Chains A and B, each alone.
Chain A
């Protein structure tokens, strides 16, 4: 079966660091994506991991452990504009389709 789990909601304070976890179970794995989605808008690509380890891109970093079926997105120096939903998606090896979690809604408070 295919299953993506991530927390439903998280809150954090402006300037802080937040880690959003994602665990997955898929029959075939061909990469993991993180997207940011503001309410009423399309998802925006943040990061892509296919090998184990940490990918850093500015204030955002993403980590992958394939053996554990685990990823996290790390957001540093939080800003109010980071309030959004964060979607974890795994690409299926056989079909190339993206399998999404339900998303984590992050609220950043001043």
Chain B
């Protein structure tokens, strides 16, 4: 059973650029949730994808978008990067929108915007 994986591990971008982050869910899981964690803060919910459709969104602007593929892997896209987008981006894998007790996080992608 493979765990949750994310790529890349680290990324440095310039303000105004666009970025795509990737997440592969744990085997058997069909739901991926994305979180943003600023330094010293708890993770903040961005959105969740369940069976290739968005299933809930947090308080993030439309320039944060995503999608989920038939194999349940997912991408997070951020357009027009701002300095405040610098954070650790985490994806969490679960089954059936996380209604059980399984909600496992990937290692994260650390994004730095300069």
Chain A residues at the B interface, C-beta cutoff of 8 Å:
4, 30-31, 33, 35, 40-45, 48, 50, 87, 89, 91, 95-103
Contact residues in A for B107 (Cβ distance below 8 Å)? 41-42
Query: Taking A42-B90, A95-B56, A96-B56 as contacts, is the C-beta distance between A101 and B42 under 8 angstroms?
Result: yes
Does B22 count as interface, using CB distance less than 8 angstroms?
Answer: no
Query: Taking A96-B48, A100-B44 as contacts, is the C-beta distance between A43 and B90 under 8 angstroms?
Result: yes
Interface size on B, residues (CB 8 A): 26
Of B13-21, B63-71, B77-85, B91-99, the stretch lying at the interface with chain A is B91-99
A sample of 12 more A-B contacts (CB under 8 A), given A87-B43, A98-B98, A103-B42, is A41-B108, A42-B106, A43-B90, A45-B103, A87-B42, A89-B42, A89-B43, A91-B98, A96-B98, A97-B48, A98-B33, A98-B35
